[in-house]
Amino acid sequence: MGSIWEFLLVALVVTLTPGPATALVLRVAARDGRRAALGTVVGNSMGVLMWATLSAVGVSSLILASQVAYDVLRFGGAALLIVLGVRSLLRRDSDDAPAPLPRLTGWRIGVVTSAANPKLAVFFVALFPQFIPHGVAVLPCTLAMAVVILAVDLIWYSTLALLVVHAKKAFTDGPWGRRIERLTGAVLIGLGIRLALERR
């Protein structure tokens, strides 16, 4: 069994590893500003917490046991990532200064993106049992680990979003804004395709 410090290290490594959430936060922060980006961060973290909680109570294992349920989530998540990426690639240069994305919309995008990612279920089902001490109640322990992951996610992605927003004047105004949005759009499309093609 791993220690709490080993679990925290794993949580940090997983959070800091670039993936759909990183690309999404970068895209929203660069295009729509602080409010929308922080809304996306909160939404993503809520989706992560949902999967962690479902894993803690055993529901994720039931979903993973059903190939149909898993594929529905997998293809739905892949389609969402690809659509967001295509929209970034196709946005016209005349739209370089769009109206700020409402916080609720950013929150909703974050929730849906993480909730539609069955790889999170696989991760939590595989991770949690390794760090539950012998003789400790399983549900409270796994929920506590879920809260730790949520806190790490919120701190890291909020920091990332704020850094992008503060650097916006120097790096994302003019042609740089479109270049960064196109890059994150291409990354989202690539991640969506990879998710669609991946097998458990």
Query: 153, 12 in Cβ contact below 8 A?
Result: no
Q: Please report, rounded to a whole number, the percentage of residues in the chain having pLDDT higher than 90.
A: 8
Compute the average pLDDT of residues 92-98. Answer: 49
pLDDT for 106-126, tens place per residue? 788 888 888 877 777 777 877
Provide the 10 A C-beta neighbour count for residue 156.
Answer: 19
Give the separation between CA 78 and CA 72, rounded to whole angstroms. 10
Amino acid type, 106: G
Provide the 10 A C-beta neighbour count for residue 15.
Answer: 19
Q: And the tokens for 142?
A: 């796994």
Q: And the tokens for 90?
A: 């196709």
pLDDT for 152-172, tens place per residue? 999 999 999 988 887 766 655
Compute the average pLDDT of residues 58-67. Answer: 65
Q: If DSSP states are collapsed to H, E and C, what string results for the chain?
A: CCCHHHHHHHHHHHHHCCCHHHHHHHHHHHHHCHHHHHHHHHHHHHHHHHHHHHHHHCHHHHHHHCHHHHHHHHHHHHHHHHHHHHHHHHCCHHHCCCCCCCHHHHHHHHHHHHHCCHHHHHHHHHHHHHHCCCCCCHHHHHHHHHHHHHHHHHHHHHHHHHHHHHCHHHHCCCHHHHHHHHHHHHHHHHHHHHHHHCCC
133: left (phi over 0), alpha (psi -120 to 50) or beta: beta
Sequence ranges of the domains in the chain:
4-197
Listed range (42-51, 57-66, 104-113) with the worst mean pLDDT: 57-66
Q: What pTM was computed for the model?
A: 0.72
Nearest to 114 by CA among 144, 83, 85, 76: 76
Judge whether residue 104 has pLDDT over 70: no
Judge whether residue 96 has pLDDT over 60: no
Angle between helices 34-57 and 138-166 (to 10 degrees): 160
Query: 30, 106 in Cβ contact below 8 A?
Result: no
Task: Report residue 98's pLDDT band, with 50, 70 and 90 as the boundaries.
Answer: very low
Listed range (31-45, 70-84, 151-165) with the worst mean pLDDT: 70-84
Compute the average pLDDT of residues 16-33. Answer: 84
Tokens 């004047």 found at? 169
In this predicted model, which residue has the larger pLDDT, 125 or 59?
125
